[in-house]
Amino acid sequence: MLGLVIGVFGIGLAVVLSGIGSSIGIRIAAEAANAAMIEEPKNFGKYLVLTALPGTQGIYGFVIGFLAVAKLKVEMGVTDGLALFFSTLPIALAGLFSAIYQGKVTAAGINMTVKHPEESGKALVLGVFVEFYAILGFVISIILLNSGFLK
């Protein structure tokens, strides 16, 4: 039973930490977008894309959580529970931190877009650079979940 508890804890971390990161990242970007709309409300669509970008990490954590639930077994041993826990850890941590930093990058991009709306594509590209590290955590979690360590 202990293995099952450890595995469920890992799943919870993947979903909750990446979700927390996304909510913080979106809040940071949304504050900048709200301030920017005071000056340039016509650029709402550009602000919306930049604001939504940090939300993807929460989706990645949810997907890993969903895939990991399929690996749970009632009679799971401690070794399998630990393997499941450590398989979910990359997206839990990458999702938490990259979403927060992506929110800061996209907030700066929103601020730039107020004065230079034609540069919003550059702001999006810079935000995507941070996204890359969330994707790496996501991919590593998928590889670990399907590596054969879990029986």
Q: 2-41: per-residue pLDDT in tens?
A: 999 999 999 999 999 999 999 999 999 999 999 999 988 8
pLDDT score for 144: 95
Kindly state whether residue 103 falls inside one of the protein's structural domains. Answer: yes
User: Does residue 136 register a pLDDT over 90?
Assistant: yes
Closest C-alpha among 1, 14, 7, 12 to residue 150 = 7
Kindly state whether residue 138 falls inside one of the protein's structural domains. Answer: yes
The total number of structural domains that make up the chain: 1
Range of the domain at 68: 2-145
User: DSSP for 72-98?
Assistant: --TT--HHHHHHHHHHHHHHHHHHHHH
User: Does residue 118 register a pLDDT over 90?
Assistant: no
Kindly state whether residue 69 falls inside one of the protein's structural domains. Answer: yes
Band (pLDDT 50/70/90 cuts) for residue 151 is low
Kindly state whether residue 122 falls inside one of the protein's structural domains. Answer: yes
Rounded CA gap, 76 and 53, in Å? 37
Supply 44's token pair: 């709402």
User: Does residue 150 register a pLDDT over 80?
Assistant: no
Kindly state whether residue 151 falls inside one of the protein's structural domains. Answer: no
Kindly state whether residue 48 falls inside one of the protein's structural domains. Answer: yes
pLDDT score for 41: 87
Kindly state whether residue 79 falls inside one of the protein's structural domains. Answer: yes
Other Cβ atoms less than 10 A from the Cβ of 69: the count is 13
Closest C-alpha among 105, 109, 19 to residue 56 = 19
In 3-state terms, what secondary structure has residue 122? helix
Kindly state whether residue 150 falls inside one of the protein's structural domains. Answer: no
Mean pLDDT of 123-133: 93
Supply 72's token pair: 């749970």
Task: Decide if 124 contacts 102 (C-beta within 8 A).
Answer: no
Band (pLDDT 50/70/90 cuts) for residue 120 is confident
CATH number of the domain encompassing residue 55: 1.20.120.610
